[in-house]
Amino acid sequence: MANYQSIGSVAEAVARLFRQAWQPALLGGIEPQFDVYQGKDFSTPMAQGVSVFVYQVNVDQVQRTLPPAAPDHRRPLPVRISFLLTAWGQDASTEHDLLGWAMRTIADTPVLSSGFLNAAVPGVFRPEETVELVPMDMSDNDVFQLWQVLPGSLQLSVPYLARVVRVESDLTVPQGAPVQVRELAVGTAAG
């Protein structure tokens, strides 16, 4: 199971996926950036490239009862990470091309391995773990509400979901000795 650093590791892995997949001959040889953004970064965005912005993390209600990684550990916390890919460019055509390329790149590599996820911070994910990236739907109203709180104006974007990240607890469940004998005391109630 992943540790508490898993959310940042997933965002960094998506940006790294783009950096590694980019070929200099694409789009006339431009050199785009692929960075993880915070909300404040939207006020002074990159000149051209694709930003990865984690805007929401939810507990996955379907997988709430996952078994613990080991008998003496607490259950993992399964989370879903919602992130926004935003294209930045000098003109609309560049933004369209960059976003189309980023979407195609994720479609070609929809599952990130633990080795890839652990590249920035080693040991966050166990060797057998993976994270799946899937497109997500947002209503027009949700898109407009998100862009109302972000600095800057509405920008070409697409939402994605990283699922399911299982965040492991560092706490263990105390284990007592096995029960050897059952003793029941039977009596009558006073009354």
* CATH number of residue 105's parent domain: 3.30.2000
Minimal CA–CA distance to 94: which of 31, 52, 154? 31
- Report the alpha-carbon distance of residue 15 to residue 117 in Å, rounded: 11
Residues 6 or more apart whose Cβ sits within 8 Å of residue 57: 7, 79, 80, 81, 82
Stretch 26-32: mean pLDDT: 87
Decide which of 177 and 186 is more confident.
186
Range 82-99 average pLDDT: 95
Q: Quote the pLDDT of residue 186.
A: 81
Phi, psi of 163 (to 5 degrees): -135, 160
* Predicted local confidence at residue 63, as pLDDT: 67
| pLDDT one-digit tens code per residue, 96-135 | 999 999 999 999 999 999 999 999 889 999 899 999 999 9
The answer as to whether 190 is a domain residue is: no
Q: Mean per-residue pLDDT for 137-143?
A: 87
Q: How far is CA 182 from CA 64, 177, 189, in A?
A: 33, 13, 21
Q: Residue 191 CA to chain centroid, in angstroms?
A: 62
* pLDDT band at residue 191 using 50, 70 and 90 as cut-offs: low
pLDDT at 109: 96
188 within domain boundaries = no
- Assigned domain for 174 exists: no
pLDDT over 70 (residue 148): yes
77 HSE (CA, 13 A, CB side): 15
pLDDT for res 88: 96
Q: Domain span at residue 64?
A: 6-167
The reply to whether 177 falls in a domain is no
Q: What is the DSSP letter of 153?
A: -
Structural domain contains residue 44: yes
- Chain mean pLDDT for the chain: 88
